[in-house]
Amino acid sequence: MTKAGPDSTGSAPGVVLVTGPSGAGRTTAINALEDLGYEVIDNLPLSLLPRLLEGPAPSRPLALGVDVRNRDFSTNALIDIIDRLAARGDFSAQVLYMDAAEEELVRRYSETRRRHPLAPGGPPFEGIAEERELLTPIRARADVLIDTTGFSPHDAKAEVERWFGTGDGRTLGVTLHSFSYKRGLPRGMDIVMDCRFLRNPHWDESLRKLDGRDPAVAAYVFDDARFPKFFEQVKGLADLLLPAHKDEGKAHLSIGFGCTGGKHRSVAMTEHLAQALAQDGWHVSKRHRELERRATKSGKEDIS
C-alpha cells in the first residue's frame, strides 16, 4: 500500500505532489491536505511549475495537484519536476500517488456517468487504460501510494490524514472506527479490538433494526457483565498510549472496534469511547464503516 511515509519525526513535508489516475481520489486527497493546512495549487500548467519550484522554500506545507488534465502534461515533464523536487536541499518533498484497481475505476465512472478526460467520446475503460500506461513511470516514483479500491471518500480522506497530518506535537487526532469482521479489517488501523464476545442485540427482535447509536441498543450492550471491565481496560490503554504518541509527534491514531455485523456492539463501543476521550480533551472523530455503506448504498458517493 505504501512505499514510504512522513519522516520519523512526524514533521510534514515541504511539498507534496499529488497525482494518480482520474477517479482514484486525487481531488479528495487535495481537499484533505487543504483541510490539514497545506497551501494547495491544483492543475497549474506543468510549464509553470519549475518557476514556482525555483523560488524560496515554502513557508508552510504546499500541495501540488497534477494529472493528465493539466495543460501540456507529459510523463517526462512530470518526472523532471519530481527530480527537481528531490534535488532541493532546503525542504523535503514527497510524491503522493492515489491509485485504484482498473475495475474499480470503471465502476466509478459507470456509476457517476462521467466522461474520462482521455476518452471523452468513447467508453471510460479506453481512457482508463491509456492513462494508467501514461502514469506507470510516475507510480514507480511515488513515496506514498494509497490504493482507494473499496474506499468511500471518507476512507480516502482519513488515509491521507493518517500520512500527512502535521504532527507538530501540539495535537493528536484520534479516529475511532466500527466495522464488521465479515468485510475485513479497515485499512490503516493502529489498534483493533474485538467486540464479538459481548452479547449481541441482533438476537433481540426489538433491537435488530436499530444500531449502536440508539440508547436502547447501547444500554443492552453495556448491560453485559463483561462490558464495564472491558471498557475500563480499553480506556486505560488509550490513556496510556495517546499522550505517548502525542509526545512522539504523531499526528493521528486509528483505533478499530469490530463485531459480526458492524452495526450494534462495535458501534456502541466506538460511540462510548469517543465520548469519554472527547471529555478528556482529545480531538476525536468517529467512522462507522458499515453504517456509512448502508447510507450510501442507494446514492453512491464519488471519489475523484
Residue with cell 515533464: 77
Q: What is the pLDDT of residues 1-48, one digit of tens each?
A: 333 334 433 444 588 999 999 999 999 999 999 888 889 999 888 888
The answer, yes or no, to whether residue 297 has pLDDT greater than 80, is no
Give residue 41's identity as a one-letter amino acid code. I
In angstroms, rounded to a whole number, what is the distance separating the alpha carbons of residues 55 and 298? 48
In angstroms, rounded to a whole number, what is the distance separating the alpha carbons of residues 132 and 10? 31
- Please tell me the predicted confidence (pLDDT) of residue 268: 98
Cα four-point dihedral sign 301, 149, 32, 254: positive
Q: What is the pLDDT of residues 140-193, one digit of tens each?
A: 888 888 999 988 888 898 888 878 875 544 467 788 999 999 999 887 789 999
173-180 and 144-147 beta bridge pairing: unpaired
Contact 214, 220 (CB under 8 A): no
Give residue 275's identity as a one-letter amino acid code. Q
- Please tell me the predicted confidence (pLDDT) of residue 266: 98
- Please tell me the predicted confidence (pLDDT) of residue 295: 66
Return phi, psi of residue 256, to 5°.
Answer: -110, 145
Write down the mean pLDDT value for the chain: 85
Give residue 287's identity as a one-letter amino acid code. R
> Residue range 299-304: average pLDDT?
49
Topology annotation, domain 15-164? Rossmann fold (3.40.50)
The side-by-side arrangement of strands in the sheet containing 173-180 is 191-194, 252-259, 173-180, 283-288
- Indicate the range of 52-66, 134-148, 280-294 predicted with least confidence: 52-66
- Name the band, by pLDDT with cuts 50, 70 and 90, for residue 257: very high
Domain boundaries for CATH 3.40.50.300 within the chain:
15-164
Report the range out of 97-106, 113-122, 167-176, 204-213 with the highest average pLDDT: 204-213
- Please tell me the predicted confidence (pLDDT) of residue 256: 96
Give residue 149's identity as a one-letter amino acid code. T
C-alpha torsion angle, residues 32, 36, 37, 40 (rounded to 10): -20
The answer, yes or no, to whether residue 202 has pLDDT greater than 90, is yes
- Please tell me the predicted confidence (pLDDT) of residue 243: 93
* Other Cβ atoms closer than 10 A to 62: 22
E strand map for 87-172: 93-99, 144-147
Q: What is the pLDDT of residues 89-103, one digit of tens each?
A: 777 788 999 999 998
- Please tell me the predicted confidence (pLDDT) of residue 299: 46
- Name the band, by pLDDT with cuts 50, 70 and 90, for residue 241: very high
In angstroms, rounded to a whole number, what is the distance separating the alpha carbons of residues 146 and 167? 19
